[in-house]
C-alpha cells in the first residue's frame, strides 16, 4: 500500500478491509515522513505496533 492510500483509509469514517501479516487491522495514524503506520489487529486492540505502510494490504 502507498502512504497516500493509507492516509485516506485512516481518515475515513468507513472501515476498510486492510491486513498486515494475514490479520485484519485498524490504521490509527500514518506518518508520511517515515512511511509508517500505527496499527492494531481488530481482535487485539491492545497490541498496537508501528509498521511500514508498504507491508499493509487492502483487500
pLDDT of residue 35: 98
Q: What is the pLDDT of residues 1-57, one digit of tens each?
A: 999 999 999 999 999 999 999 999 999 999 999 999 999 999 999 999 999 999 999
CB count in 10 Å sphere of residue 5: 15
pLDDT of the residue at 20: 97
Give pLDDT, residue 29. Answer: 96
Of 47, 34, 46, whose CA–CA distance to 6 is shortest? 34
Task: Decide: 6 and 30 in contact? Cβ < 8 Å.
Answer: yes
Contacts of 14 (CB under 8 A, 6+ apart): none
Look-up of cell digits 490509527: 28
Report domain extents, the chain: 3-58
C-alpha cell at 37: 503506520
pTM of the predicted structure, to 2 decimals: 0.92
Amino acid at each position: 500500500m502507498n502512504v497516500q492510500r493509507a492516509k485516506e483509509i485512516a481518515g475515513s469514517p468507513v472501515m476498510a478491509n486492510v491486513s498486515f501479516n494475514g490479520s485484519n487491522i485498524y490504521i490509527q495514524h500514518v506518518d508520511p515522513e517515515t512511511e509508517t503506520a500505527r496499527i492494531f489487529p481488530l481482535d487485539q486492540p491492545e497490541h498496537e505496533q508501528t509498521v511500514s505502510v508498504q507491508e499493509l494490504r487492502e483487500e
